[in-house]
Amino acid sequence: MSSDESKEEQLDRELIELLNELRVALPGVQVLFAFLLGVYHRLNWRRGDKEHLLVVSNRLAISGTAFLALAISGAVFVVTDMLFEPTSAAVVAAATAAFFGWFWYGLPLLRRLRD
């Protein structure tokens, strides 16, 4: 938090950043599952509990990206299973899951531990 930013301004900024990150992930979810996700913040419109909304939304975003990584890895398995033998398909799908696991979760958690 910068010295000229109040707690309320920080929460506003972080909420906007979270929603922007979700907007990036949303098209991938729509393509894989063919339905729109409801926007969580609309359920708590004007309730005045932005900090709680931010904490819960962040947890849901992390959970959602975990399911997205699993769905992408599953789709990779289905496609590669049609092209190659099942063992090769499983290896490619596992490598895909490991890629997402490392870059989406491993690196951020490692940085968090260092900080």
| Digit-coded pLDDT (tens) for 16-37 | 998 888 888 878 777 765 544 4
How much is the pLDDT for 46?
75
**What is d(CA 111, CA 114) in angstroms, rounded to the nearest whole number?**
5
How much is the pLDDT for 51?
87
How much is the pLDDT for 99?
97
List all residues 6 or more positions away from 15 whose beta carbon is below 8 Å from its beta carbon.
41, 50, 53, 54, 57
pLDDT over 70 for what percent of the chain?
86
CB-hemisphere CA count at 13 Å for 1?
A: 11
How much is the pLDDT for 41?
59
Enumerate residue ranges in the chain where pLDDT < 50: 35-38
How much is the pLDDT for 35?
45
| Selection from 71, 77, 79, 74 nearest residue 29 by Cα | 71
